[in-house]
């Protein structure tokens, strides 16, 4: 019963995102709005993280299942993307490397800022 309640909370935020997206004058993905609303509810402690942990852990552990329909559609339409598959793979490789370095330097910058604002001590006792 607990899992159903957690799913209801997650789906309610998804529905809130759908409704909001429908009434907005600009096109913003409903799933993104739902996640933003859920994040906001967690930040203001309207919902406690412990209330969603088991279901969120299940979704995270089985995330590959959610990508199967997309992969099947791509494989069915492979003849359309076959001429540009090399370029797509190159773009994927380059953006992966760029994302890696952006995450690395962003984390490093955030740790330096945290160290600066915490009177020279590294966050959580870690060395910077």
Task: Judge if 52 and 9 occupy the same domain.
Answer: yes
Query: Using one digit for the tens of pLDDT, what is the confidence trace for 4-17?
Result: 999 999 999 999 99
For residue 9, give its domain range. 1-61
How confident is the model over 16-47, as pLDDT tens digits?
999 999 999 999 999 999 999 999 999 999 99
Tell me the CB-side half-sphere exposure of residue 10, using CA atoms within 13 A. 16
Task: Examine the domain organization and report whether 6 and 25 are in the same domain.
Answer: yes
Structure pTM? 0.58
Residues 46 and 15 in one domain: yes
pLDDT digits (tens, 9 = 90+) for 69-87: 888 888 898 898 899 999 9
- The domain total for the chain is 2
Domain end (from 34, 61, 88) = 61
**Shared domain check, 77 and 26:** no
Give the mean model confidence (pLDDT) for residues 56-72.
87
Evaluate whether 17 touches 33 at the Cβ level (below 8 Å): yes
Q: What's the burial of 17, exposed, middle or buried (CB within 10 Å: 0-12/13-18/19+)?
A: buried
């Amino acid at each position: 019963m607990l899992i159903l309640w957690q799913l209801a909370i997650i789906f309610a935020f998804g529905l809130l995102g759908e409704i909001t997206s429908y009434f907005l004058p600009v096109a913003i993905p409903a799933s993104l709005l739902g996640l933003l609303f859920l994040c906001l509810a967690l930040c203001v402690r309207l919902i406690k993280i412990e209330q969603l942990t088991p279901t969120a852990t299940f979704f995270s552990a089985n995330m590959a299942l959610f990508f199967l329909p997309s992969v099947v559609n791509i494989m069915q339409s492979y003849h359309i993307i076959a001429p540009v598959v090399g370029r797509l793979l190159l773009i994927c490789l380059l953006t992966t490397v760029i994302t890696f370095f952006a995450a690395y330097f962003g984390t490093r910058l955030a740790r330096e800022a945290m160290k600066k604002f915490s009177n020279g001590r590294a966050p959580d006792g870690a060395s910077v």
